[in-house]
């Protein structure tokens, strides 16, 4: 079974422990809504699952499909069917979108059977249509100068092309117009029908009303504080997170402001 099992996961970022013992299981075919206040570790969890080098696992276990994910390179994780749509998709100047997508497609194929040009054009044409992007994207550099919505659509395009077993969507709905949100939810539905599992992070009930999760979990202070039915989404939408302190006695630590990253060479702390 293609279950994702996370046990006692501790993760450090920039030498600060962010995840402090996450336990979470996503069964094959689950769509899990991952909720939680800002800065409590949701994106950190997805980055750690995907193997981002800045997110250091200090303790714990992640298995997918019975295999030890932490022993795999990022490439191997992708090959195994893990996929993440970034909260803030990075701009990659110098890399044309078509070349990137070709590489991504080839990385899932056998080394001596790369995708042919004709098939590539056909697959991309179909993908761009579904993602609501123009084919001129082919020659534009990856995410460079893309509008917020175009970046998110491009993430959806990658999901559709790669057909992952587990799709992790980090605030895929942020900055999307109504039509794009509909398109994204249709793409998610198409992928759900193929049997893929989902972890969907969002702060808004709208996406969840379209993607229809069967479960919800709430991350607080780097741990899963609540793991339960999807009705939790409605509760959080109406009441926020205050009740977690009241009912579970968990003090919600104020998130530190995120550092503003100035290009790649400097980091400025906000007050």
Ligand X SMILES: Nc1ncnc2c1ncn2[C@@H]1O[C@H](COP(=O)(O)OP(=O)(O)OP(=O)(O)O)[C@@H](O)[C@H]1O
Write out the H or E segment, with its range, that includes residue 131: helix 117-131
34/101 with CB nearer Mg ion: 34
**Angle formed at CA 246 by CA 244 and CA 250, multiple of 5 degrees:** 50
Residue with tokens 């997110």: 55
Q: Which does 91 bind (CB under 5 to 8 A by kind): Mg ion, ligand X, none?
A: none
Question: Contact, 168 vs 84, CB < 8 A?
Answer: yes
43 forms part of the interface with Mg ion (CB under 5 A): yes
- The single residue among 3, 5, 21, 39 that binds ligand X, judged by CB under 6 A, is 39
Residues 6+ away with beta carbon under 8 Å from 193: none
Beta-ladder partners of 119:
none
What part of residues 54-93 is at the interface with Mg ion (CB under 5 A)? 87
How far does Cα 148 stand from its chain's mean position? 16
For 166-224, what is the HEC assignment? EEEEECCCCCCCHHHHHHHHHHHHHHHHCCCEEEEECCCHHHHHHHCCCEEEEEECCEE
Q: Which does 13 bind (CB under 5 to 8 A by kind): ligand X, Mg ion, none?
A: ligand X
Shortest gap between Cβ of 41 and Mg ion (angstroms)?
8
Judged by CB under 6 A, which stretch of 41-49, 76-84, 93-101, 110-118 contacts ligand X?
Answer: 41-49
Write each residue from 69 to 108 as x if it is in contact with ligand X (CB under 6 A), else as -, in one continuous string. Answer: ------------------x---------------------
Question: Contact, 38 vs 174, CB < 8 A?
Answer: no
Judged by CB under 6 A, which stretch of 68-76, 132-140, 235-243, 250-258 contacts ligand X?
Answer: 250-258
13 forms part of the interface with ligand X (CB under 6 A): yes
49/161 with CB nearer ligand X: 49
The residue ranges that bind ligand X (CB under 6 A) are 13-14, 18, 36, 38-44, 54, 87, 255-256, 258-259
- The site for Mg ion (CB under 5 A) is made up of 42-43, 87
């Amino acid at each position: 079974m293609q279950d994702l099992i996370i046990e006692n996961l501790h993760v450090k970022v920039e030498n600060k422990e962010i995840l402090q013992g996450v336990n979470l299981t996503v069964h094959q075919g689950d769509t899990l809504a991952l909720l939680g206040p800002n800065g409590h570790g949701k994106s950190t969890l997805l980055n750690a699952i995907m193997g981002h080098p800045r997110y250091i696992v200090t303790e714990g276990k992640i298995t997918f499909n019975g295999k030890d994910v932490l022993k795999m390179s990022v490439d191997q994780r992708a090959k195994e069917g893990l996929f993440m749509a970034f909260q803030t998709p990075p701009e990659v100047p110098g890399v044309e979108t078509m070349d990137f997508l070709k590489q991504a497609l080839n990385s899932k194929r056998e080394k001596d059977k790369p995708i042919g040009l004709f098939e590539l054009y056909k697959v991309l044409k179909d993908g761009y249509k579904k993602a609501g992007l123009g084919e001129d994207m082919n020659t534009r550099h990856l995410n460079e100068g893309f509008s917020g919505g175009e970046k998110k659509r491009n993430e959806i395009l990658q999901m559709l092309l790669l057909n992952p077993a587990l799709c992790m969507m980090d605030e895929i709905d942020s900055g999307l117009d109504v039509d794009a949100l509909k398109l994204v939810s249709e793409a998610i539905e198409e992928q759900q029908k193929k049997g893929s599992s989902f972890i969907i992070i969002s702060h808004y009930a709208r996406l969840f009303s379209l993607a229809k999760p069967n479960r919800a979990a709430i991350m607080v202070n780097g741990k899963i504080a609540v793991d339960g039915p999807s009705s939790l989404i409605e509760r959080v939408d109406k009441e926020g997170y205050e009740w977690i302190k009241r009912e579970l006695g968990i003090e919600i630590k104020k998130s530190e402001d995120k550092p503003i990253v100035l290009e790649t060479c400097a980091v400025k702390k906000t007050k």
